[in-house]
Amino acid sequence: MGVRGQVSRLVMKFGGTSVADLERIRRVARLVNAEVQAGHSVAVVVSAMSGKTNELVAWTDGSGAAAQGLAPSDDEYDVVVASGEQVTAGLLAMALRNIGVAARSWLGWQIPIIADDAHGRARIDEVPPDKLAAAMDAGEVAVIAGFQGVTRDGRIATLGRGGSDTSAVAIAAAVKAIRCDIYTDVDGVYTTDPRIEAKARRLSKISYEEMLEMASLGAKVLQTRSVELAMAQGVPLRVLSSFIEPGDDTANAGTIVCDEEEIMEKRIVSGVAYSRDEAKISLFGLPDHPGVSSEIFGRLADANVNVDMIVQSHARTADTANMEFTVGKRDAARTVEIVRAAQKEIGFDDVAVNEDVAKVSVIGVGMRSHTGVAKTMFGALAEKGVNIQVISTSEIKISVLIDAAYTELAVRALHAAYGLDQL
């Protein structure tokens, strides 16, 4: 029981590595039991066992279905790939009963988690909370298959890879949970990648907005959409390791993702992120008149190519300009094809692509109110002799594109420059 006799509902979510085998599922059952004993009404959202979803996807896409003469199909893809979560939900409910905890499994359609019909990347429209909350409050742990919903026509729809995080947040919002705990294979969100900088520190708290930037910059802890939903619905998240035992000191475990206002200890920069997933496209000798950018980026948008950083500059020659922009590496070849095919309409002399680049970003809500953040960044990079190719900024982020060979050096230099080594 929580405050004033009200039940405190808690959502716990376990990713693939946390439920990879029966032994781990038993450990998860013990962690769930500890929260039940602590007086919470609990819903648990589970992913498929690690590797399972990839295996299922391979049956249905080019590497599987087509190779075996089946035409790929969006709606039936969802029926196949959603099955991994059904297995873990049933197994965890069994493991809970085994240790004397009342539990039952829930599939997406049984709650129901109502989603739109964009198969493979569906969005959740609505989660009616009544049935679920009643079962939870009656003391029965609700073990929910993540990643899946049901369309208004009664078809299964999956929420995009990594979508169990979003299932968990949507459930937490629906049942008004006090928090959504995301158990994973890392013990929280770090100031940077600990594999690159051993002095990286776990953050005890981070704001939704910073987490969103980190997630979209390649820190793969949470599905970006789940953070957006948590921010919109005001659901506090906690990211923590499932490789703990009940009774371990968990009071300060993990990283809380919450509103900026709830973070007492203010930092200017909270983290340094990097991504090697981008390629730089350069267009030379563009005509310098209105409509050129629209011509280029309109075509890329029509082809669903996501453009990230963009810079344009005047060339020495009168009336011409050069443009550089970045796209995902996997879109690089296609991008070059698209602009080449429109060379006449766009009117450039030459195009070049460079895949040997990395984007390094510093993120922090403190940038809104502090000056000199960019100066520190550029100074630290200059001191290490790192050349900056492209710069882009948002209210709470500065990103630079550099030669990929300098990624580690740049990350470490920036981590030190903003005092993150000493947090």
Positions touching ligand ASP (CB under 6 A) are: 15-16, 47-48, 53, 84, 146-147, 161-165
* Partner in contact with 88, chosen from ligand ASP, Mg ion, none, beta carbon below 5 to 8 Å by kind: none
Q: How far is the CB of 418 from ligand ASP (least distance, A)?
A: 32
Nearer to Mg ion, 193 or 197 (CB): 193
What's the CA gap between 42 and 40, in Å, rounded?
Answer: 6
Subset of residues 151 to 180 that bind Mg ion, contact rule: CB under 5 A: 162
For the CA atoms of 374, 378, 380, 383, the dihedral, rounded to the nearest 10 degrees, stands at -160
- The DSSP annotation for 130-173 comes to HHHHHHHHTT-EEEEETTEEE-TTS-EEE--TTTHHHHHHHHHH
Q: How far is the CB of 190 from Mg ion (least distance, A)?
A: 16
Q: How far is the CB of 162 from ligand ASP (least distance, A)?
A: 5
338 CB burial (10 A radius; 0-12, 13-18, 19+): middle
What's the CA gap between 253 and 243, in Å, rounded?
Answer: 11
Residue 84 is a binding residue for Mg ion (CB under 5 A): no
Nearer to ligand ASP, 12 or 48 (CB): 48
* Partner in contact with 108, chosen from ligand ASP, Mg ion, none, beta carbon below 5 to 8 Å by kind: none
* Partner in contact with 254, chosen from Mg ion, ligand ASP, none, beta carbon below 5 to 8 Å by kind: none
* Partner in contact with 236, chosen from Mg ion, ligand ASP, none, beta carbon below 5 to 8 Å by kind: none
What's the CA gap between 237 and 39, in Å, rounded?
Answer: 19
Reading across the β-sheet that carries 148-150, which strands appear in turn?
124-126, 114-115, 148-150, 156-158
Burial 61-86 (b: 16+ CB within 10 A, else e): eeebbeeeeeeeeeebbbbbbbbbbb
Q: How far is the CB of 184 from Mg ion (least distance, A)?
A: 7
Are the CB atoms for 86 and 145 separated by under 8 Å?
yes
Q: How far is the CB of 346 from ligand ASP (least distance, A)?
A: 38
Nearer to ligand ASP, 82 or 93 (CB): 82
Q: How far is the CB of 2 from ligand ASP (least distance, A)?
A: 28
Helix (H) or strand (E) holding 382: helix 373-383
What's the CA gap between 43 and 89, in Å, rounded?
Answer: 11
Q: How far is the CB of 97 from ligand ASP (least distance, A)?
A: 24
Nearer to ligand ASP, 191 or 224 (CB): 224
Q: Report the length, in residues, of the chain.
A: 423
The closest of 255, 242, 143 to 183, measured between CA atoms, is 242
Nearer to ligand ASP, 48 or 339 (CB): 48
* Partner in contact with 147, chosen from ligand ASP, Mg ion, none, beta carbon below 5 to 8 Å by kind: ligand ASP
Nearer to ligand ASP, 121 or 329 (CB): 121
Q: How far is the CB of 186 from ligand ASP (least distance, A)?
A: 15
Nearer to ligand ASP, 84 or 364 (CB): 84
The closest of 260, 278, 267 to 401, measured between CA atoms, is 278
Identify any residues that bridge with 45 across adjacent strands, giving them in sequence order. 13, 144
Per-residue interface string for the shown chain with Mg ion, residues 13-52, x marking contact by CB under 5 A: --x-------------------------------------
What's the CA gap between 93 and 29, in Å, rounded?
Answer: 8
Nearer to Mg ion, 220 or 314 (CB): 220
List residues near Mg ion by CB under 5 A: 15, 162
